[in-house]
Amino acid sequence: MIRLMNEEESVVLRCLTAAEESLAITAQKAADAFQNGGRVIYIGAGTSGRIALSDAAEMPPTFGIEPDRFVAIIAGGTASRDKAVEDAEDDIYASITALNEMGVSRRDIVIGIAASGTTPFVVSAVHHARQKGVWTCGIANNRGSDLLEVAEHPILLETGPEVLTGSTRMKAGTAQKLALNRISTAAMVLSGKVVENLMVDVKAKNQKLKDRCARIVCDLTPATRDEAWQLLEENDWSIRKVIEMTREPAMLP
């Protein structure tokens, strides 16, 4: 069983490779929105919604951004974070209401995610956002689906039938997770949140992250570990501030 699942999952990276150009365009749009004070708004239901929620939640601690810059609207609301709310995905008005309450504008972008590409909650939101002049992207795993038709920028991740029929938490979910990971990470790199390959705006919320901050300072500056630790403590654990103090300004984005 494990071997069969592994063999089936091998198609995922081929799908991501085929979608590289489309993912790159979306990452640039996300970076533009972020740099212009807008938001990246994910829309999803079920597995897709929880994947979107996870990606958005990881952005603030990883890149030191405010939690309202990458956000996820998920069918069923907060109740869907811990358990499935299957009927919520059929509500075509809830997602539109959520977008309107957020005050979605042309500074934002909206990315809808649905394995089937037909989820009413997602399709209606993307259609509504596009009507308001917001740039929209649709990510689906089925060719010719509604979501890919209504979105301004469609991304097909054609993973094919699941080894467990209908269980899109498998290949489809893996492909969606990797797609959002690439979009959000590349957007932050384009926005200057990374120096070389290091996250210079990571939030030092625990001991492990403080150790990481010190290692990053040591990697990017002549400071010793003790010096790095002391400078970070004196500067509210801001890697960027410490680098600015110990490195040529032109080296920072």
pLDDT confidence tier of residue 81, bands split at 50, 70 and 90: low
pLDDT at 21: 98
pLDDT at 84: 60
- Percent of the chain exceeding pLDDT 70 equals 94
Lowest mean pLDDT among 138-152, 177-191, 213-227: 213-227
How many residues are there in the chain?
A: 253
The C-alpha atoms of residue 48 and residue 132 are separated, in whole angstroms, by 24
pLDDT at 252: 47
Mean pLDDT score of the chain: 91
Overall average pLDDT of the 109-138 stretch:
97
Lowest mean pLDDT among 16-25, 131-140, 167-176: 167-176
Domains and CATH numbers, the chain: 2-190 (3.40.50.10490), 194-251 (1.10.8.1080)
pLDDT at 90: 85
SS3 at position 104: coil
Per-residue pLDDT tens over the stretch 4-34: 999 988 999 999 999 999 999 999 999 999 9
21 tagged catalytic: no
pLDDT at 251: 45
Q: Residues 9, 66, 89, 162: which is the catalytic one?
A: 89
pLDDT confidence tier of residue 107, bands split at 50, 70 and 90: very high
pLDDT confidence tier of residue 168, bands split at 50, 70 and 90: confident
Lowest mean pLDDT among 24-28, 47-51, 246-250: 246-250
Q: Residues 9, 58, 149, 227: which is the catalytic one?
A: 58
Overall average pLDDT of the 101-108 stretch:
96
Overall average pLDDT of the 29-40 stretch:
98
Among candidate residues 208, 212, 184, the one with its CA nearest the CA of residue 200: 212
196 tagged catalytic: no
**Alpha helices, DSSP H, located in the chain:** 2-9, 11-18, 20-35, 46-63, 94-102, 120-131, 146-150, 171-190, 207-220, 225-234, 239-246
Overall average pLDDT of the 190-214 stretch:
90
pLDDT at 125: 97
- Percent of the chain exceeding pLDDT 90 equals 74
